């Protein structure tokens, strides 16, 4: 059957990958809600709108796979975060720019990271996803250190150099062969980062190497190799140094946002995968009123394509 996938049209492969990711299972949560942690505004242009924000591309990324979104605002009490953890079905740590170890974002992410691991011992499946900065935050949460080095990988799209662990990974083991071939050969993973972690540093840190499998690496403009995709061995925790959300939801012409058929496919595949992970969690809000008030849709969107790479942004505080 695997060999026959190569002869299938892309639309059939997409439907097959969706079916493999979404087997019909009783008790699966068909109304998942995923939290996105807000981050402090670092661009002065954004300060006129609010002190913290979430780019709409991350919201649309999750919505496209059937999830709703709750903003996780900074500087709430730990009790409030615990209550929110028990009400939602997963967390996404977005890309951006914050101090890796000394920021409100890191402190908030740390609470949810620890709660997710603790919950797993009680059989509660709570997935976490990190994109770019979120990926870097995950490496710091696990290792307790800032292990990043300079990488010249801003505004460039690349193919992934897949490792042997891909075939047994949760993230990619059901991916159609055509999609894996595309992601390994075509420039469809968008990179917008100045820092990364080398495989040597990753493997040298016992906490990181024991916690995660490396699923892919890349080389920056100067030939430095960096880890680009990772997956926790024993927990539903995932990190990508690249940006799958931009392939479908960001359009600035001077930015390396890939929009080919395969670029859109890998973006949708990743969204489907993570939201499917969130479907395995059955947390819920105490009542419909509390759920409604927590959702991001009660906040206005601001058009920002004229001042940033984001089409629209939710601002808070």
pLDDT in tens, 120-173: 999 999 999 999 999 999 999 999 999 999 999 999 999 999 999 999 999 999
Measure the CA–CA gap between 230 and 218, rounded to whole angstroms: 12
In a domain, 16, yes or no: no
pLDDT the model gives residue 5? 41
Measure the CA–CA gap between 93 and 9, rounded to whole angstroms: 34
pLDDT the model gives residue 13? 46
- Regions of the chain where pLDDT drops below 50: 1-8, 11-26
Q: H helices within 133-185, ranges in order? A: 133-143, 177-185
Measure the CA–CA gap between 175 and 208, rounded to whole angstroms: 25
Indicate which CATH number applies to the domain containing 122. 3.40.50.880
In a domain, 142, yes or no: yes
Phi, psi of 37 (to 5 degrees): -75, 130
In a domain, 160, yes or no: yes
pLDDT in tens, 84-110: 999 999 999 999 989 889 999 999 999
pLDDT the model gives residue 12? 47
In a domain, 22, yes or no: no
Spatial CA neighbour of 99 closest among 52, 40, 38, 36: 40
In a domain, 5, yes or no: no
In a domain, 51, yes or no: yes
Q: Residue 259: which domain range?
A: 33-316
pLDDT the model gives residue 107? 97
Measure the CA–CA gap between 117 and 234, rounded to whole angstroms: 10
Whose tokens are 């720019």? That residue is 97
pLDDT the model gives residue 3? 39
Both tokens of residue 16? 């097959």
Residues serving a catalytic function are 132, 243
In a domain, 297, yes or no: yes
The model carries a pTM of: 0.91
221 φ/ψ sector (left φ>0, alpha ψ -120 to 50, else beta): alpha
Q: Is the distance from CB of 127 to CB of 274 less than 8 angstroms? A: yes
pLDDT the model gives residue 42? 84
In a domain, 25, yes or no: no
Number of domains in the chain: 1
């Amino acid at each position: 059957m695997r060999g026959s996938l190569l002869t299938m049209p892309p639309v059939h492969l997409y439907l097959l990958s969706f079916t493999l990711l979404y087997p019909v299972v009783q008790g699966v949560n068909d109304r998942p809600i995923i939290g996105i942690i807000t981050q402090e505004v670092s661009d002065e242009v954004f300060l006129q709108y609010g002190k913290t924000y979430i780019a709409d591309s991350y919201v649309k990324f999750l919505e496209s796979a059937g999830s709703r979104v709750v903003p996780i605002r900074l500087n709430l009490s730990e009790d409030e975060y615990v209550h929110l953890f028990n009400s939602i079905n997963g967390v996404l740590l977005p890309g951006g720019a914050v101090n890796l170890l000394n920021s409100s974002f890191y402190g908030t992410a740390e609470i949810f990271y620890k709660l997710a691991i603790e919950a797993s011992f009680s059989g509660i499946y709570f997935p976490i996803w990190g994109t770019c900065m979120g990926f870097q935050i995950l490496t710091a949460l696990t290792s307790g250190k800032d292990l990043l080095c300079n990488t010249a990988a801003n505004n460039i799209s690349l193919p992934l150099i897949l490792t042997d662990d891909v075939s047994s990974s949760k993230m990619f083991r059901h991916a159609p062969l055509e999609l894996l071939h595309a992601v390994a050969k075509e420039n469809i993973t968008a990179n917008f980062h100045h820092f990364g972690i080398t495989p040597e540093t990753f493997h040298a840190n016992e906490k990181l190497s024991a916690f995660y499998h490396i699923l892919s690496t890349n080389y920056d403009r100067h030939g430095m190799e960096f880890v680009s995709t990772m997956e926790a061995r024993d927990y539903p925790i995932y990190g990508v140094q690249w940006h799958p959300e931009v392939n479908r939801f960001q359009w600035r012409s001077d930015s390396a946002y890939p929009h080919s058929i395969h670029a859109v496919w890998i973006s949708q595949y990743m969204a489907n995968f993570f939201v499917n992970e969130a479907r395995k969690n059955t947390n819920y809000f105490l009542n419909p009123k509390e759920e409604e008030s927590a959702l991001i849709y009660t906040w206005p969107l601001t058009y920002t394509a004229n001042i940033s790479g984001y089409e629209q942004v939710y601002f808070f505080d």
